[in-house]
Structures are given as C-alpha cells and as structure tokens.
Amino acid sequence: MAANSILHTHTRPDGRRLVAVRGDITEEDVDAIVNAANEQLAHGGGVAAAIVRRGGREIQDESAEWVRLRGPVATGGAAITSGGRLKARHVIHAVGPVWGTGDEEALLGAAVRSALTVAEQAGARSLSLPAISMGIYGYPKELGVPVILGAVQTHLDGNPRSPLLEVRFCNIDSATAGLFADALSNL
C-alpha cells in the first residue's frame, strides 16, 4: 500500500490542525494512535488486530494486564498502552458503542473525549484516530463522522491548554476517509 495521503487539513483559529488521512493508522507518525477497542481490550479483528500485528504482542499483553488490574473498559471510556513497535509511542484503546444498543451518539462522543483526555494526560501533541464504531459495530458512517468531529472540536474548544496540536482522522477505507475530508472542508 502507498504511504498515507492527506486529503484535507483544517487549521482552527487557535492554530490546531485537524487532518483527514487516507491510509493505515499503524503507519501514522504521531505521538498516539487510537484503537477502536472492545470492553475486554481483546484485539482479535479490524483495526485492533492490525495494531497488534504491526506493533507487537506486547500491546495485547499490556491490554490484558490493564483489564486484569482495572476491569473492562466501559463503553465511552478509554485505556492506554505503549505503542510497541509502532511509530506512535502510545495506543489509546477507546470503546465505542455497538449500533442499535441505545444512546449511541452520546457514547461515541464520550469515547472520543475519553481518548483525547487520555492522550493529553500522556502529553501527546499529535493523535490519530479511526472511525470508531463504524466497522463491525455497525455505526452508520454518515452519522458517526460528524459525531467524532464534533466531539474533537468541542473538546479542543473547552481545553485551550491542551498539548494536542494536531488531530488526524485516519481511515484505510477511501469512502470513510472522504467523509472526514468533506466534513473538514465544510468547517
């Protein structure tokens, strides 16, 4: 696969950048990437499996230890591990909702805000996140993209001292990446 491609960059009035990227999140050269995780942090499929394949078994081992010590990550919450052999120093495991279980918009927004908060606590200046819940969890992409983007915007608006200078929306699927690019171009 070719290198990740920037589809659109939006620079906010505060100078922070929001970037739509088409490509492999495991190739992102950022401080932290977000994994679309399940409550048990069992990385068996989708983005999660790709992250462990590329970053190494230690990411799954650290995830299992996180759950052993603290219990499952609630929907809307997030946990952090190292990035293993990834370019990113950290992987933030955000648990989004399964479509059809109720209160999906609020839970997806909470998962994004949790991931941003955990990234800030780790001192991340750059973060890349996928279309959380829009794969196997069935969240319709055209509904989920504005929720994710809105949660990021609201979080950054409310946290002017956040160390985050760049938030990237990285998706391997061209259609999903295009939805993020379109949404950013309309800001």
pLDDT, mean over the chain: 97
Q: Tell me, what CATH number does 149's domain have?
A: 3.40.220.10
DSSP element (H, E) containing 176: helix 174-185
What strands lie across the sheet with 32-37, from one edge to the other? 5-11, 17-22, 166-171, 126-129, 32-37, 90-95, 78-82
Q: Which long-range contacts (CB under 8 A, 24 or more apart) does 103-108 make?
A: 104/133, 104/139, 105/143, 105/147, 106/76, 107/75, 107/76, 108/76, 108/132, 108/133, 108/139, 108/144, 108/147, 108/148, 108/151
| pLDDT for position 2 | 67
| DSSP one-letter string for 18-73 | EEEEES-GGG--SSEEEEEE-TT----SHHHHHHHHHH-HHHHHHHHHHHHHH-PP
Q: What is the pTM of this model?
A: 0.96
For 96-147, the pLDDT digits (tens) are: 999 999 999 999 999 999 999 999 999 999 999 999 999 999 999 999 999 9
Q: Is 1's pLDDT higher than 70?
A: no
Q: In this prediction, what percent of the chain has a pLDDT beyond 70?
A: 99
Domain range holding 16?
5-185
| One-letter amino acid of 34 | V
Domain count, the chain: 1
Cα 46 from Cα 23, distance rounded (Å): 14
